[in-house]
Amino acid sequence: MASNHQLAERLSAAVPRGISIATPLFAARAENAEVWDVEGRRYIDFAGGIAVQNIGHRHPRVMAAVRAQLEAFTHTAFQVVPYEVYVRLAERLNRLAPGSAPKKTIILSTGAEAIENAIKIARAATRRPAIISFAGGFHGRTMMALALTGKINPYKVGFGPFPGDVFHAAFPDAYRGVSIEQSLASIEQIFRAEVEPSRVAAIIIEPVQGEGGFNVAPFEFMRALRDLCDRHGILLIADEIQTGFGRTGKMFAVEHSNVAPDLIAIAKAIGGGFPISAVIGRAEVMDAPIPGGLGSTFAGNAVSCAAGLAVLDVMEEEGIIARAQKLGEHVAERLRAMQADPRFPCIGDVRGLGPMLAMEFVKHRASKEPAPELAKSITAKAAERGLIVISCGLYANVVRVLMPLTMSLEVADEGLGILEASMLDSIAKL
Ligand SMILES: Cc1ncc(COP(=O)(O)O)c(C=O)c1O
């Protein structure tokens, strides 16, 4: 088999540089919370395919469900010849989503596609054009999703113009001094200076910003947003693409604040490694687009739906939410101990919700000047030492953990040990 180095050379000749590769290894196989590269080397996985492998790589229940579906049929296009696995998954998601109103679900393929559809549905339901999203937010790489995204580099550079009638409010950020009041005031300012509230179809928010740096929207803020939306007839859309399916220690992150959004976009972990996304919403809102207004060739692919149903079974039967909470407490304690360690004054902040946790790296704690080169060096050193871990953040200075929720505490500790050693290596190098 070719080496990592040989494959990297072929990759750079064959694949555009716009896809920036985070680690120098090529996957050969993966099991639960570990990945092996083409040279046979083992890695602990703190990235989980970017918050996808919440129940671990190749969960046997998912593999069995996919095999059974492969034996039956793979694709008929749901709008041409529908099938039960889609309907069953929609029924289960409708039951799971927060809020007492009747729900409906459309199943799609990618997170960005779920966001595009959530916006289409919100506009059709309200007959209003404008959308408010947040600075630091990330909603995907299609044009509308990019318009909503509040982080320029690298996602938006060179790709404009973007669709109009999108306005960015300030996201509350306790570490960098944006209060809940300031954030709400920034929405009022949009209403004064940019667009009247009666033209706003929806406010879209990640309950915990993912790519933006694991900033947690305070629960009180989520409730204030719900009130504000209700006052103005605006729909609230939760982008739970990264936070969903146990990642924050609840099935959906909005459950922490007891807020029921009108629409929820999900993707990533629901497929257990297969491409699938969905929009779950209040039935009357979901039914606003006319027949034929929604759909796509592969949306709700039968193999992915079968995988999604198996993921939900595993989550229930293996107590994944309880495991996530336990893992989250354990990892948070270790990260906070690192922050308190005098060897690591570079850790400015440790934050997150449940096991969705991150460390923000700074040059000095007092100035909070971001240290993106340190975060980059730490993830690179970690890969050399056998840990897959990725960065994020508006300043690219945050290292985040997105390990499978099925990772044992022993393997998590082994990974955290590698992270600590990689931090020491990186500090010594600077
Ligand atoms: C919060 C959030 N929204 C949307 C997306 C886009 O999802 P996809 O990459 O599947 O299009 C992501 C992907 O990272 C995300 O984290």
pLDDT single digits (tens) 339-349: 999 999 999 99
Model confidence over 158-209: pLDDT tens digits? Answer: 999 999 999 999 999 999 999 999 999 999 999 999 999 999 999 999 999 9
Of the pLDDT bands very low, low, confident and very high (cuts 50, 70, 90), residue 15 is very high
The residue with tokens 């840990």 is 387
Tell whether ligand 1 has an atom less than 6 A from the beta carbon of residue 45. no
**112 CB less than 6 Å from ligand 1?**
yes
pLDDT at 298 over 80: yes
User: In the prediction, which pLDDT does 430 show?
Assistant: 75
Give the per-residue pLDDT at 233: 98
pLDDT score, position 127: 98
- Look over the chain and give the mean of its residue pLDDT values, rounded to a whole number: 98
- DSSP E strands in 314-408: the ranges are 347-353, 356-361, 387-388, 390-392, 398-401
> What six digits make up the tokens of 56?
């671990």
Is the CB–ligand 1 distance for residue 240 below 6 Å?
Answer: no
Which residues are within 8 A (CB) of 210 and not within 5 positions of it... i.e. 6 or more apart? 51, 138, 241, 242, 243, 392, 400
Predicted local distance difference test score (pLDDT) of residue 1: 80
For ligand 1, whether the C-beta of 32 sits within 6 Å is no
Residue 229 Cβ < 6 Å to ligand 1: no
Ligand 1 atom at minimum distance from 243 CA:
1
Q: Is 144 touching ligand 1 by the criterion CB < 6 Å? A: no
pLDDT of 12 above 90: yes
Atom of ligand 1 nearest to the CA of 115: 4
Give the per-residue pLDDT at 310.
98
Interval 212-241 mean pLDDT: 98
For the stretch 64-82, pLDDT in tens is: 999 999 999 999 999 999 9
pLDDT score for 417:
98
Q: Using CA atoms, how far apart are residues 181 and 178, in angstroms rounded to an integer? A: 8
| Any atom of ligand 1 within 6 Å of the Cβ of 239 | yes
User: Is 242 touching ligand 1 by the criterion CB < 6 Å?
Assistant: yes
Residue 42 neighbours by CB distance under 10 Å: 10
Token pair listed for 160: 């404009």
- Band of pLDDT at residue 324, cut at 50, 70 and 90: very high
Residue nearest to atom 3 of ligand 1 (CA): 139
Give the residue ranges of DSSP H helices in 54-134: 60-72, 84-96, 111-126
**pLDDT above 90: residue 6:** yes
111 touches ligand 1 (CB under 6 Å)? yes
DSSP character for 145?
Answer: H
Q: Both tokens of residue 375? A: 């975060």
What distance in angstroms lies between residue 152's CA and the mean position of ligand 1's atoms?
Answer: 15
Ligand 1 pocket residue status of 210, Cβ below 6 Å: yes
Give 211 Cα–ligand 1 centroid separation in angstroms: 9
pLDDT at 271 over 80: yes
pLDDT in tens, 411-427: 999 999 999 999 999 99
pLDDT, average across residues 242-261: 98
Residue 83 pLDDT: 98
Pocket mutation for ligand 1, best pick of 52, 139, 391 (most atoms within 8 Å of C-beta) = 139
Give first-to-last CA distance, the chain, whole Å.
36
Question: For residue 211, which atom of ligand 1 is closest to its CA?
Answer: 16
Asked if residue 140 has its Cβ within 6 Å of ligand 1, the reply is yes
Q: Which residues contact 140 (CB under 8 A, 6 or more apart)?
A: 110, 111, 112, 113, 115, 116, 146, 149, 241
Q: Using the predicted structure, report yes or no on whether residue 429 has a pLDDT greater than 90.
A: no
